[in-house]
Structure 1
C-alpha cells in the first residue's frame, strides 16, 4: 500500500478517535481558493509527490489543514528530487502549515515507519514468443543425434510459439535501518496448456517447470561493506557469463566502494544445479553434484561518463551431467572439473541518452572458449513517465565453453550462438510498458542452423 494511502488512514483514525491536536480549530477546511491547492497540484504534476492534488483524498471536498499538512510532509521528504522552483513552493507550504506539521510529525512519522517495514511490489506480464529455428537448432530439445547429453538448444520443446502469463512478486521486510529481507517469486503459466511449465511432456503441469528458482536473501551493511546472503540474482559486468534473471547464486556476496569511483564485489557459494524453465550450459554446470562458485568483480569510473568493468570466475564440480529426460549420466567434454573465466568490459556515454558498451570474455577450455559483445543503448524507460523508452541493439558471440547461460529466451549450448539482437521497452502509460526482444543467431562451431525468435511482452507494474 502506498505511503500516501497509509498516511490517510492514520489521519482518519486520529480524527475518529478525537485526538486533541494542538492547533486552533485544527480540522478547519483549507478554503477552495487557497494558493496551497495550486502549489500541491504543481508538486504532484512534477512528480515530487504522488497523486493529483487534493483529489487523492477522495471526492471534490476541500482538504482539512491536517490533510494538507500530510501532503506537505510528503513533499518535504521528497525535496531532494524537486527542482529549485518546487523547493521554493515546499518551503512556502512548510511555513503555512508549520503548526500542523509539528503536531503530525511525531505521531504520523512513528506510525508510518511501522507500516513501511513490509512492502510488496512487482509486475504482471503477458507474453508471446515465436521461433523459426533450423539446422542444428531445429526441434533440438535433447534432439536425438544432434546434442546427445548436452541439453536443449531452444528454451522450449518445439519450434512454434508460446503464449504465457506470469507474475514477479517482490516482498521486502525491513529488519532495521541497515538490513532487510527480500523474497522474489517468479511464476509463469503456459497459456496453451494452463500448466506451470514449458511445452514439454516431461514437465507439463509441474509447478517447478517455470517457477524459476526464486530469490530469498538478506541484504544489509556491516561497516562500509554491503552484504547479500541467501539465493539471489547476479549479473557481473554486462551479462556475458551469468544472464539476468537466472537467480543463480546460493551463497554470500560482499561489496565495498562506490560504483561512481571504484567498487569491488566478491561472491562465494554455489551455482544452481536445477534450472527448470531456463536453458543452461551443461558443459559448465553439473546437474548431479555441487557447482562451487567464487568470483571477484571490479567496477571503476574512469570519467564522469565512462566506466570499465572486470570479473574473474571459478566453477568447480565433478564433471558429471545427468540427461533430465533419459536419466543417463554422461561426462561432458571437453572441460575439466575446474573452469576459470575472465571478463573485461567498458561503457561510454556518447550523448546524454546514447551509451556505447562492449565486453570480451574467455574461459580456460581448450577450444570454443571465447565470447564478446558490442552494443548501443538509447534512452531510459521510466515506468512513471508515459512515452519514455529505451532501445538496445547489439552483436553477441558466445562460444560453447564460454558462458553458463546464453539467454533466457534463446540458447545455443551445444553449438554456440552468434548474431544480432534488438531489445526495446516502451512505457505506454504510467506503470504499463511493452517490451520487445528479437534475435537472429547462428552456430559458432561451423555447423549449419539458425535461431530466429521474437518475443513481445505487456507488463503491468505495481
Structure 2
C-alpha cells in the first residue's frame, strides 16, 4: 500500500477533522490529492516524515511505519465511534508483533484471545457506624467476559461473588450477575438486551441492575435513551396500600442527556411504572466543572403525584478527580442530601443515604497505584425528616482493577 493511501484511510479511522492544518513536508503540495489527509495527520502527530523534511508518499508503507500509526490510533480510541474503534482493534491485532517491538502495551490485546477478552475487579471493604456492632469486613470478586460476535455485535457475561464477610461460614456465593448482548446500528444507535447496568439520571433515583432492553441514540453532546423492563434492586413504593411495596415492577424510563460544553452536563428522565397503584417519577441533574479541578453538581427527583413528601434532592461541591489508571491522583467531595419518605429513590449510587433522611455525605478517592483505588465515605449530621439524629455510617474500600 502506498503511504498516501494509508494516511487517507487513517483520517477516516481516527475521525481527524482539522481541515486547516499546515503541511510540514516539502514533497507534498496543495495540488496532491492526499494533501489534506497528510497535513491533518501530521498536525495530530500521527505521521512523521524523514529527517530531510520529505514524506515520500509514493513509496510503499512498511509494517513498522503502519504499526506506528496504529499506536497513535490506540491513544485516540476513546474519541472515536464504535465502527472506528472496531477497525483500530483489528489493526492492533494484525500489527501486534510490531507494536510489541515498539514497546507499545496494547490493553485490548493483553487480555484478549481471538475475539474474546476478559476484565474484572476485586474489592476489600470495611463498613461501620457509631454503633460498633454494625462494623464488618467484606470481600468480593468479579470477572467479565466479552465476546465479539461481529463488527457490530458483542455478548457479555459477568461472574461475581456476593459480599462475603470475613469469618462467616461457607464459601462466597457465586452467580452470573450480568448477561446481555449489544448491537450497534451505524454510528449513532445502540440496543442492549438482557441483564445489565442502568443509571437513571445522575444516580440518585437508581444505579443498579436492570433486566430488559435499552436503546440509545446520539453521541456524547446529545443523546436519548429508552429502557423497558424491570428494576432488579431496591423496592418501589406503591400508592394502593400504606406501607406496601412492589418489587420488580415493569417500567419504561425515558432519558435525555446533553453536554453543551465539555464542562456542563444536563440530564433529565421520566419513569413510567406499568403497575397499578405505583406512582411515576421524574428528575433532572446538572454537573459543572469550574476550571480544571472544581466540580459543582446537584440532582432533583420527584414522584409524580405525592407532593412534597415525594421529593428528593442533592447538591454538592468537589475538588480534584481520582483516575484509577494514574497513581497519586485524588478527589474529595461533599454532598448534602434531603430525601423525603416517598421520594423515588430505589437503589441510589450513594447507598449510605436512605429515604426519610437528610445530611451530608463526604467522599475521598485516592489512587494508591495504577489500577488500585482507595475510597472512603462517611455521613455527617444525619437526621430524619423529623430532625431527630440518626446513626452515622462510614465505609472504606480498596478496589483492584484488572
TM, length-normalised to structure 2? 0.67
Structure 1's 400 and 406: CA in aligned 2 closer, same or farther, altered over 3 A? farther
Contact kept, 8 Å, 1:253 with 1:267, in 2: the verdict is yes
- CA shift for structure 1 position 193: 0.9
Contact kept, 8 Å, 1:398 with 1:406, in 2: the verdict is no
Q: What CA distance in whole angstroms lies between the structure 2 residues aligned with 1:68 and 1:460?
A: 35
- CA shift for structure 1 position 358: 1.0
Contact kept, 8 Å, 2:236 with 2:249, in 1: the verdict is no
Q: Is residue 74 of structure 2 the alignment partner of residue 78 of structure 1?
A: yes
Contact kept, 8 Å, 1:399 with 1:444, in 2: the verdict is no
- Which residue number corresponds to residue 395 of structure 2? 455
Residues 410-439 of structure 1: CA deviation (Å, up to 9, x unaligned): 2534xx121111122211112212111111
Q: What CA distance in whole angstroms lies between the structure 1 residues aligned with 2:63 and 2:141?
A: 35
- CA shift for structure 1 position 271: 1.6
- CA shift for structure 1 position 73: 7.5
Indicate the structure with greater strand content: 2
Q: Is residue 203 of structure 2 the alignment partner of residue 239 of structure 1?
A: yes
Q: Is residue 284 of structure 2 the alignment partner of residue 344 of structure 1?
A: yes
- CA shift for structure 1 position 119: 1.1
Q: Is residue 261 of structure 2 the alignment partner of residue 303 of structure 1?
A: yes
Q: What CA distance in whole angstroms lies between the structure 2 residues aligned with 1:250 and 1:372?
A: 26
- Which residue number corresponds to residue 161 of structure 1? 135
Contact kept, 8 Å, 2:236 with 2:247, in 1: the verdict is no
- CA shift for structure 1 position 368: 1.7
Contact kept, 8 Å, 1:311 with 1:343, in 2: the verdict is yes
Contact kept, 8 Å, 2:191 with 2:213, in 1: the verdict is yes
Please state whether the residue corresponding to 2:391 is helix, strand or coil.
Answer: strand
- CA shift for structure 1 position 127: 1.0
- CA shift for structure 1 position 376: 2.2
Q: Which has the higher contact order (CA 8 A, sep 6+)?
A: 1
Contact kept, 8 Å, 2:142 with 2:160, in 1: the verdict is yes
Please state whether the residue corresponding to 1:75 is helix, strand or coil.
Answer: helix
Q: Is residue 95 of structure 2 the alignment partner of residue 132 of structure 1?
A: no
- Which residue number corresponds to residue 113 of structure 2? 115
Contact kept, 8 Å, 1:309 with 1:345, in 2: the verdict is yes
Rg (Cα) greater in structure? 1
Count, aligned residues: 308
Q: What CA distance in whole angstroms lies between the structure 2 residues aligned with 1:437 and 1:215?
A: 26
Q: What CA distance in whole angstroms lies between the structure 2 residues aligned with 1:406 and 1:441?
A: 19
Structure 1's 430 and 365: CA in aligned 2 closer, same or farther, altered over 3 A? same
Contact kept, 8 Å, 1:127 with 1:457, in 2: the verdict is yes
Residues 337-367 of structure 1: CA deviation (Å, up to 9, x unaligned): 2311110111111111222111111112255
Unpaired stretches in structure 1, ≥5 consecutive residues = 1-47, 49-65, 82-97, 105-111, 134-157, 197-204, 319-336
Structure 1's 443 and 292: CA in aligned 2 closer, same or farther, altered over 3 A? farther
Contact kept, 8 Å, 2:237 with 2:246, in 1: the verdict is no
- CA shift for structure 1 position 216: 1.2
Q: What CA distance in whole angstroms lies between the structure 1 residues aligned with 2:350 and 2:165?
A: 16
Residue of structure 1 aligned with 2:342, choices 388, 401, 415: 401
- Which residue number corresponds to residue 271 of structure 1? 231
Residue of structure 2 aligned with 1:291, choices 249, 252, 259: 249
Alignment of 1:46-125 (within 5 A): 75-78=71-74, 80=76, 115-125=113-123
Contact kept, 8 Å, 2:373 with 2:400, in 1: the verdict is yes
Structure 1's 427 and 216: CA in aligned 2 closer, same or farther, altered over 3 A? same
- CA shift for structure 1 position 258: 1.5
Residues 82-126 of structure 1: CA deviation (Å, up to 9, x unaligned): xxxxxxxxxxxxxxxx9x969x9xxxxxxx798341111111111
Q: Is residue 348 of structure 2 the alignment partner of residue 412 of structure 1?
A: no
Residues 257-293 of structure 1: CA deviation (Å, up to 9, x unaligned): 1222x11111111122xx4xxxx34525987765111
Contact kept, 8 Å, 2:237 with 2:278, in 1: the verdict is no
Q: Is residue 366 of structure 2 the alignment partner of residue 430 of structure 1?
A: no
- CA shift for structure 1 position 163: 0.4
Q: What CA distance in whole angstroms lies between the structure 2 residues aligned with 1:398 and 1:194?
A: 37
Residues 302-351 of structure 1: CA deviation (Å, up to 9, x unaligned): 33421221110122335xxxxxxxxxxxxxxxxxx231111011111111
- Which residue number corresponds to residue 108 of structure 1? none
Contact kept, 8 Å, 1:270 with 1:292, in 2: the verdict is yes
Contact kept, 8 Å, 1:391 with 1:423, in 2: the verdict is yes
TM, length-normalised to structure 1? 0.59
Q: What CA distance in whole angstroms lies between the structure 1 residues aligned with 2:339 and 2:124?
A: 29
- CA shift for structure 1 position 448: 2.9
Contact kept, 8 Å, 2:310 with 2:340, in 1: the verdict is yes
- Which residue number corresponds to residue 360 of structure 1? 300
Q: Could you say what the CA RMSD is over the residues aligned between the two structures, in angstroms?
A: 3.5
Residue of structure 2 aligned with 1:376, choices 293, 304, 317: 317
